[in-house]
Amino acid sequence: MFQYDFVRTAFIVGGFLALILPLLGVTVVLKRLSMIGDALSHVALSGVSLGLILGFNPLVGAIVISLVAALSINTIQKHLGSYQELAIAIIMSFGIGLSGVLLGFVNNPNNFNAYLFGSIVSINQSDNLVSIALSILVIGIAIRYYREFFFIAFDEKSAKLSGISINKMNFIFLFLTAITVAIGSRVVGALVVSSLMVLPVALAMRVSKSYKTTVLYSMIFSLIFMWLGLTLSYYFDLRPGGTIVLTAVAGYLISFLFVRNK
């Protein structure tokens, strides 16, 4: 299958996405924000709709709207006290409603559907370059703030006592998550991107004993699921996004046969 350019490109772009999703997903899971991927992906669909309606690149629209949504979540959380998770539900509801309204103005719904379930084998060259460049940016920033993400994932009070700016780090984390979800919506689809952010991490937590190994294993598992899913979708003529997620679910379920609960 590697004789075809689109397959090689799918494996490269998918590989970068497979690295950044669990890289941020570990913090997402440990902070108990597993629904944030769903919230941002639904909002990203609004940006896709705007791009299709107004005639600009839908990926750019998805990224911009996702960043605005991430900032909104950060702002709303500051006013909710102990109920900060409500901010995610509010933004997700807004994204679902706005996407539903804007979809009625899209001339060709087929283009919109490509963002629902992804179209990794038919992404144009410009989107490929943008996805790879932004993935490298996310990886670089995540490595730079590895220690800070570790602290805010487990104990924000201790992080604050250590001199870490909680507001700054939460902003950076949401910023990177928004970019990652927007890229993922284009590559594997808005309806499945949050699954790839959580499932590899869930499996890694079953076999790892530290934060560092959890991050490493989740990235390895994510790459395996991504590339195996692409391979299966090619040979069995299946939709890549759904196949990748089902492969990840199967991998997690199989782990119960070999790994005891810790």
Length of the chain, in residues: 262
Question: Residue 219 is encoded by which pair of tokens?
Answer: 């990235």
At the top level of CATH, which class does the domain 5-258 belong to? Answer: mainly alpha
Q: If phi over 0 gives left and psi between -120 and 50 gives alpha, with beta otherwise, what is residue 128? A: alpha
Residue type, 167: N
Domain boundaries, the chain: 5-258
Phi, psi (degrees; rounded to nearest 5) at 220: -65, -45
Q: Which residue in 54, 28, 17, 51 sits closest to 133, CA to CA?
A: 17
Per-residue pLDDT of the chain (262 residues; tens, 9 = 90+): 889 888 898 899 999 999 999 999 998 888 877 788 888 888 988 988 898 888 888 888 888 999 999 888 888 877 776 666 788 888 889 888 998 898 888 887 777 777 777 777 667 788 889 889 999 999 999 999 998 888 888 877 777 887 888 888 888 988 899 899 888 887 888 778 888 899 999 999 999 888 999 999 999 999 999 999 999 999 998 888 889 999 999 999 999 888 766 5
pTM score, whole prediction: 0.87
Rounded Cα–Cα distance for residues 101 and 198 (Å): 29
